[in-house]
Amino acid sequence: MNKKLIVITGASSGFGMEMAKEFAKENYPLLLLARRIEKMEALNLPNTMCEKVDVTDKDSFEKAVRKAESIYGETDLLINNAGIMLLGDIASQDAKEWKAMLDVNVMGVMHGMQIVMNNMKEKKSGTIINLSSIAGIQAFGDHGAYCASKFGVTGLTRVARAEMSAHNVRVLSILPGAVNTELLSHTTSDEIKKGYNQWKESVGAVNITANDVAKTVKFMYELPQSVSLREVIITDTMQDN
């Protein structure tokens, strides 16, 4: 059977990059999206188009998807993975950081869903996997706007799942705990970053990898279209919360 197009946002590092490598091993046609195109191109994956896209810009996001679809056929899987985490306490964090998170983590996901949903509805097939987080169902200190964005992803994924179920389209979410990637590095407070790393090390939650998450996403997709693994919470075994 011919493999169908997979679109991965945020494929220039972390989970997205590992997903790209895992799917490429089985020669899925891929569209990789992020702002740092050079990182995606450096992977040199077969059957793959890389486009410089900021997911907050719906027009360029859609243009890239249509360009890939004109070559590989319609999108069968969209992974809305691009995200940022800028930790800070609500009383003092700059509102610009809140807006940046809500724009990328919520609006970016909504853009992606709308770009592929109508074709999937028409075909009565397709899968969307959104990256939420354990912070999308639980509260953590200094995670105010990040939790707001990821609770948002959990909620909008559940709504989309219900809306798309009659069309045989799967809308799933994966909710990882702490995994070592570039994610934490964008937080501006060194004290918060230090505290986060100290907590991970003190409980020993340091062994789960981005590749573990990527393989789980691949497993969710490769189940039959009739099987919807709606929400998967995945953490290091030693994560205590």
Give the separation between CA 2 and CA 66, rounded to whole angstroms.
19
82 binds ligand NDP (CB under 6 A): yes
Whether the CA torsion 14, 193, 80, 58 is positive or negative: it is: negative
Taking a C-beta distance cutoff of 8 angstroms, is the pair 61, 33 a contact? yes
19 binds ligand NDP (CB under 6 A): no
23 binds ligand NDP (CB under 6 A): no
Give the separation between CA 19 and CA 161, rounded to whole angstroms.
22
User: Which amino acid makes up residue 94?
Assistant: D
Per-residue contact track with ligand NDP, 100 to 119, x per CB under 6 A? ----x---------------
Taking a C-beta distance cutoff of 8 angstroms, is the pair 27, 3 a contact? yes
Burial of 189 (0-12, 13-18, 19+ CB in 10 A): middle
Binds ligand NDP by CB under 6 A, chosen from 147, 179, 214, 220: 179
Per-residue contact track with ligand NDP, 129 to 168, x per CB under 6 A? --x-x-----------------------------------
- Which 41-60 residues touch ligand NDP, going by CB under 6 A? 53-56
Residue 35 or 124 having the CB closest to ligand NDP: 35
Binds ligand NDP by CB under 6 A, chosen from 6, 14, 19, 169: 14
